[in-house]
Amino acid sequence: MTILKLAGISHHYFSKNGYTKALEDISFSLERGEFISILGPSGCGKSTILSIIARLLQHTSGDIFIHEVPIKESKEEIGYMLQQDYLFPWKTVLQNVLLGPKIQKREDEAIEDRANVLLQEVGLSNVKNQYPTELSGGMRQRAALVRTLMNNPEIFLLDEPFSSLDFQTKLKLEDLVATILNQYEKTTILVTHDIGEAIAMSDRIIMMEANPGRIVKIYDVPTELRAESPIVARKHDAFQPIFDTIWQELEKKEKSGEGI
């Protein structure tokens, strides 16, 4: 079942002194439960794609369908996790997690129970009444994950959510996120510039180039890696070959002057 379909998406950023073409003719589609990564140099419009799917930006041309309904008419919830956690410092962890339901005016006991269950699942139930500043980076990002999960979105957008964490925390969190998204059968797009992370977590990898943002290639991650959790996948025999292939492709881009 195709959940998300982008067909010929382009996006321009306009300013007083002209415009830049951030995206050109982006097309791909996602099946239910699929996990794809978008990999590419900075400025290739990776985050712009997510903002468009999250309805925070209006694309300038092309069509997007969610469940075959045009995105404008679709009521589908979309979960968006940013580079930093952006927990509200004046709210406790629990209040932060309940922000989505509060905005949508559907706070009730069932929702609160769900929040408690999810917090328990990510190991935060003992700090739920503390403020975000009292938590470590990894804990904060876990709280942000729960906040995004609360609205039960089918499509999950992750915008480099692990990039601000130390390596060990990052690996652990990758595992946790992969497990939870798998368990709830979420369809996910991860934006990253970490090749290893993309391979370890996803089913397919979309490689992009910059100026303008275009899709260069789409890689299928070997099936034996997909089945494994990220930490195990990183140590798998099939990991290094695809890593090298993607690495070389990125290097080639860089040499021809189109890279970073």
Binding site for another protein (CB under 8 A): 54-56, 78-80, 82, 84, 86, 88-90, 99-100, 102-104, 131, 151
CB of 21 to another protein, least distance (A): 22
CB-nearer residue toward another protein: 126 or 133: 133
Based on CB atoms, which residue is closest to another protein, 88 or 247?
Answer: 88
CB of 101 to another protein, least distance (A): 9
Whether 123 and 76 have beta carbons less than 8 Å apart is answered as: no
Alpha helices in the chain (DSSP H): 46-53, 93-97, 99-103, 109-121, 137-149, 167-183, 195-201, 223-226, 230-235, 239-255
Q: How far is the CB of 250 from another protein (least distance, A)?
A: 28
CB of 167 to another protein, least distance (A): 24
Nearer to another protein by Cβ, of 102 and 217: the residue is 102
| Single-letter code of the amino acid located at 195 | I
CB-nearer residue toward another protein: 137 or 222: 137
What amino acid is encoded at 33 in this protein?
G
CA-wise closest residue to 209 among 41, 69, 58: 41
Give the span between the Cα atoms of 97 and 150, in whole angstroms.
7
